[in-house]
Amino acid sequence: MKNKKSLGQNWLKNRLILDEIADLAIPDEFYSAGSKVPTLCLEIGPGLGTLTSSLLKRFEKVMAVEYDQSLAANLPKSFPGTNLEVVCQDFLQFDFNNLPPDYVAVGNIPYYITSPIIQKLLSAPHLPARVVLLIQKEVAERIAAGPGKHTFLSLSVQNQATVALGPVVSRAEFTPPPKVDSQVIILTPHATPIIDPQILKLIKRGFSSPRKKLIKNLLPTEDTRQALIAIGKSPDLRPADLSLLEWQNLAKALAEFKHNQ
């Protein structure tokens, strides 16, 4: 079927890569004695079903959420006799409430809605055991970045999940080939965020001009300078230099300065 550029459709057909992505969707706990593979795999944007085929061999059931009506209609015909449920819907409108507590989420997703999809998965009523997504390589690297290279995206995702990078997939493996390479990213959601999500508002302000010193982005400047010194950090730091827990310490220090004024 002809891809629709407006939906970011690019077909991956390399069976070895597809199998590797499906294997990564199995949580590490499975390899411990007595553990089981999650019953349900929630697939995001199955398209032609190339990844669906690998997932059906590993999970008892696959629930595939496909926005494209023609693709959604054709998908069951490709897998007769399997436990495949196709939901024709925009994934961003998908209701997680009826999913079992034991599930994983997997998808080769459109680049242009990567962040909204990740945020929806990490804010679900009950979290998936694991999330495995094939996304733009540059974005995967940004999400997995550490201190010195942090962005608001990396900090917001890492606050909600442990992040690991999987294999890089060359653009040549897709039909039609996109303009950039892709990479698998593996997210293991935390039961609770590392820091209070309210602190993300401070972090977002801190990244308003990422290349500037942090004290230029957080006002009043002198309070920020003194708060950084109080937590043992240089006033010359840029927002990318702080970890989640350091942002938490900074928020506490700023609150104390405000309380004492």
Beta strand 40-44 pairing with 103-108: parallel
Which pLDDT belongs to residue 189? 96
Q: Which of the four pLDDT bands, split at 50, 70 and 90, describes residue 98?
A: confident
In this predicted structure, which of 36-40, 41-45, 217-221 has the lowest mean pLDDT? Answer: 36-40
Which pLDDT belongs to residue 195? 97
**pLDDT for 233-254, tens place per residue?**
999 999 999 999 999 999 999 9
The C-alpha atoms of residue 247 and residue 228 are separated, in whole angstroms, by 10
Task: Report yes or no: 56 and 92 within 8 Å, Cβ to Cβ.
Answer: no
Q: Which of the four pLDDT bands, split at 50, 70 and 90, describes residue 33?
A: low
In this predicted structure, which of 29-43, 56-70, 102-116 has the lowest mean pLDDT? Answer: 29-43
Which pLDDT belongs to residue 8? 44
The C-alpha atoms of residue 28 and residue 31 are separated, in whole angstroms, by 6
Instruction: Give percent of the chain above pLDDT 70.
Output: 93
Which pLDDT belongs to residue 35? 65
For the chain, what are the domain ranges? Answer: 5-189, 199-260
Residue 112 has pLDDT above 50, yes or no: yes
- 3.10.129.10, 1.10.8.100, 3.20.20.70, 1.10.10.10: CATH of 199-260: 1.10.8.100
Q: Which of the four pLDDT bands, split at 50, 70 and 90, describes residue 6?
A: very low
Residue 32 has pLDDT above 80, yes or no: no
Length, in residues, of the chain: 261
CATH superfamily placement of domain 5-189: Vaccinia Virus protein VP39 (3.40.50.150)
Which pLDDT belongs to residue 34? 59
Which pLDDT belongs to residue 115? 95
- The mean pLDDT of the chain is 91
Give how far Cα 3 sits from Cα of 47, 106, 112, Å.
Answer: 9, 20, 16
Which pLDDT belongs to residue 38? 78
- Cα–Cα nearest to 251, from 231, 234, 236, 235: 231
pTM of the entire structure?
0.91
- Residues 6+ positions from 62 with CB-CB distance below 8 Å: 40, 41, 43, 52, 55, 56, 82, 83, 84, 85
Q: Which of the four pLDDT bands, split at 50, 70 and 90, describes residue 2?
A: very low
Question: What per-residue string of b and e applies to 139-174 under the rule 16 or more CB within 10 Å gives b?
Answer: bbebbbbeeeebbbbbbbbbbbbebeebeebeeebb
